[in-house]
Amino acid sequence: MIYDRLPRLGLYADAIPFLGELIYELGSIDLDSIPVGTYYTNQSGIKYMVQEYATVPEKKSEVHGEYADVQILLSGSERFGAFRAIEELPDGFSAEGDIGFLDSDDEVDIPLREGTFVIVLPFEPHTPGLQLEGEENVRKIVAKIPYVSR
């Protein structure tokens, strides 16, 4: 997992496949006014979603097997739970949706605030959207980047 400030996102483009394409695409739009919804990059069709939601006190952790998450907080703040990588995907994992849910006990809390991002690789459980200092409305971009980890 990578946690950093948005101006430094480009530093990771050589290490994360398709990240440069996502950065290029996001640089060509007004992130403050793009409507909530699902979008795809012009070149390779990388999926990214503009989301708005209220943070919650707790929820199950999620994990992906084929896609890395790039989560960019545009406004608000949230607590992002991060965990050590797992060896096997959990029972009930949906290959079609590339998502599984699990309970884990080694969470590290990361405060995501406006202008920060996380990159979570496959097999790295995480819990986005948690309350940092009470319920708060957030606006973020979540991109799904193909990533071969095994």
Is the pTM here over 0.85, yes or no?
yes
Predicted confidence at residue 103, as pLDDT, reads 87
Tell me the CATH number of domain 2-146, given options 3.40.190.10, 1.20.1560.10, 2.60.120.370, 3.40.50.300. 2.60.120.370
Identify whether the C-beta of residue 112 lies closer than 8 Å to the C-beta of residue 72. no
Per-residue pLDDT for the chain (150 aa), expressed as one digit of tens each?
A: 999 999 999 999 999 999 999 999 999 999 999 999 999 999 999 999 999 999 999 999 999 999 999 999 999 999 999 999 999 999 999 999 999 999 877 889 999 999 999 999 999 999 999 999 999 999 999 999 998 654
